[in-house]
Amino acid sequence: MKDIQDVLWSARTRDEFPALAEKGAVVVVPIASTEQHGLHLPVDTDCRTAEYVAVEAARRLDDVPVLVTRIIPFGISPHHMMFPGTITLRVETVVAMLGDICESIVAHGFERILILSGHGGNGSTIRAAALELKFRLKRQITACSWFDLIPPEVFKAVNEGPSVNIGHAGEAETSTILVISPELVRKEKYQLVDGITDNPALATAEKGERILQAGIEGVAELLRSMAALPGQQVVGIARLE
């Protein structure tokens, strides 16, 4: 497994980037949100999970060069603005910001970019941005949320409550923070309040480990597939052979 410093864009010096671009490195741009997560989780919960999964997936790929940029901590969260602590951006702001970031990365010779979200509310926006950038920059650019890469049967096996996915500040998501930042989970404030999807009291670190590992495996597989494809070959309609 790679050392964490080997995969961080921010830890590199300017003379190291050309060789990494020449090797066909995939660049991961994590994006998340700053928004309420009930009474028991910090507002940067989505940032913590997205960054953790991105970095750990990159570290696992010994044969694939991967760089992970600093996380974009804000996203599309108007549906949480009724709760204190939430910060949201306009759709056009996110699209413009991702455009500037991807253009900068491509300018330095990189041809493969994964925009990886830790917040489901970013989904439509980042996918639209990636689609536009893919054809405008003529590079391999894609976008998804890390938990979308987890097979449904993982959540079915892990969750005891009604949620069939990562949910919001409930059993599954709280479980992941019990792994990443257990000291920030206010267990004494576990309550099924407005603005969360399901009961956080069912959360355990063991569940969180299974969810995170499944996410890491999914992202690592996607990165490997991106590295195997041509960086500048942009396919519109593929012909069936």
Q: Which residues of 131-160 are buried (b: 16+ CB within 10 A; e: fewer)?
A: eebbeebebbbbbbbbbebbeeebbeebbe
Residue 73 pLDDT grade (very low, low, confident, very high; cuts 50, 70, 90): very high
Q: What pLDDT, on the 0 to 100 scale, is given for residue 235?
A: 65
Chain-wide mean pLDDT for the chain? 96
The rounded distance, in Å, linking the Cα atoms of 123 and 130 is 11
Mean pLDDT of 168-196: 98
Phi-psi region of 62 (alpha: psi -120 to 50; beta: other; left: phi over 0): alpha
Q: What pLDDT, on the 0 to 100 scale, is given for residue 135?
A: 94
For residue 93, how many other CB atoms are within 10 A of its CB?
14
Contact between 55 and 202 (Cβ < 8 Å): no
The rounded distance, in Å, linking the Cα atoms of 16 and 198 is 46
The rounded distance, in Å, linking the Cα atoms of 66 and 54 is 10
Flag whether pLDDT at 216 surpasses 90: yes
Mean pLDDT of 103-111: 98
Residue 185 pLDDT grade (very low, low, confident, very high; cuts 50, 70, 90): very high
Q: What pLDDT, on the 0 to 100 scale, is given for residue 215?
A: 98
Q: What pLDDT, on the 0 to 100 scale, is given for residue 143?
A: 98
Flag whether pLDDT at 79 surpasses 70: yes
Flag whether pLDDT at 148 surpasses 90: yes
Across the chain, the runs of DSSP E, i.e. the strands, are 26-31, 66-68, 112-117, 140-145
* Percentage, residues of the chain above pLDDT 70: 98
Flag whether pLDDT at 49 surpasses 70: yes
DSSP 72: B
For residue 78, how many other CB atoms are within 10 A of its CB?
13
For residue 64, how many other CB atoms are within 10 A of its CB?
21
Residue 66 pLDDT grade (very low, low, confident, very high; cuts 50, 70, 90): very high
Instruction: Report the side by side order of strands in the sheet with 26-31.
Output: 66-68, 26-31, 112-117, 140-145
Query: Model confidence over 149-164: pLDDT tens digits?
Result: 999 999 999 999 999 9
Q: Which domains are delineated in the chain?
A: 4-149+215-228 (3.40.50.10310)
Query: Model confidence over 33-45: pLDDT tens digits?
Result: 999 999 999 999 9
Mean pLDDT of 217-224: 98
Query: Model confidence over 198-215: pLDDT tens digits?
Result: 999 999 999 999 999 999
